[in-house]
Amino acid sequence: MRRIVLAAMIGCHSAPSAVLPAWTVVEDFGVSPASRPVGEPVVVQPHILAPGSTGTQEITVTDLLVIRFADGGKHQRNEQHVKLAWKVLAVDEDDHVSKLVVTVADATTAVDVDGNADHEALLRGAYLVTYVEGVVKALHADGTPVDVRETETLENAVGDLLVRDRLTRLLMAHPLRAGEAVALKSHEVHDVMNRDPMPGTYTLSLRELATRSATYRIDGRATGPGIFGEGTAEQQVRFTFTFDLARGRVIEAEVVRHKLEQSKKRTSETHSHEKWTTAITH
């Protein structure tokens, strides 16, 4: 299994489909580290948001895809950027946020397939976002309905504010010591990954411990059937995130994925890079 350098496709997506970019092979990732615990377990405490709490969120996503056939292929680049501010309007009886107002600074997506580019806005203006009986719902601030994609984009951006932060839940279940690594159960992996992961081996480790923060990493590697059940698929994942011990919240996260699918007729490689940052301003 190989990791693909992100720059391998930058500047190449305008080439004809028969001319495919050359991939640069570097070190593996997704490999579970050895567990060498030191010191005392780090017990995290979640930050309880109250009505009037405010903050910001920024997310960038890049997906690079190359499909190779015997007589050519195609390559595609998807980019998404979301930047917004939020304010808590209400919490439920369990102190979970139940209603937010979200103001969008930027929310755009761009798709380039073999040099044919398309740009589109994902969100505009302000939204009221609620969490009712386990479902995230949204309306424009003026009360008009939103479409499905708007709701999905908002849920991806602020969903963890409306329920107890999925990563905080994971850390509360695994109070690790510096250098310690533990295997994750399948339901834990599905809970923390935005995209459904392939079944495989996933490990959570505490990589760095500072006075006010702790940096964790999930490493995963999986194999299974390829697209439409043909051939084979392999995937590697590296999910790094930093928890602010004083503020009780994850403040930065980065996910890198590489997936390789091979069959008799085609080979496809996907490299995904997602990064988000959050800040509580009040």
User: Structure tokens of 197?
Assistant: 């992961």
Q: What is the pTM of this model?
A: 0.85
Domain ranges of the chain: 3-280
Residues β-bridged to residue 185:
none
Say how far residue 12 (Cα) sits from the centre of its chain.
25
Q: What are phi and psi of 121, to 5 degrees?
A: -85, 135
Is beta strand 3-4 parallel, antiparallel or unpaired with respect to 25-26? antiparallel
What does each of the 282 residues of the chain score in pLDDT, given as a tens digit?
333 333 333 333 333 333 334 443 334 676 788 899 999 999 998 888 999 999 999 999 999 998 888 778 888 999 999 999 999 999 988 888 999 999 999 999 999 998 899 999 999 999 999 988 878 999 999 999 999 999 999 998 998 888 767 899 999 999 999 999 999 999 999 888 866 678 899 999 999 999 999 999 999 999 888 776 788 889 899 999 999 998 888 999 999 999 888 888 888 888 999 999 999 988
Place of tokens 């999930």: 218
Residues β-bridged to residue 136:
131
CATH number for the domain running over 3-280: 2.30.230
Work out the burial of residue 69: count CB atoms within 10 Å of its CB; fewer than 13 is exposed, 13-18 middle, 19 or more buried: middle
Between CA 2 and CA 273 the distance in angstroms is 15
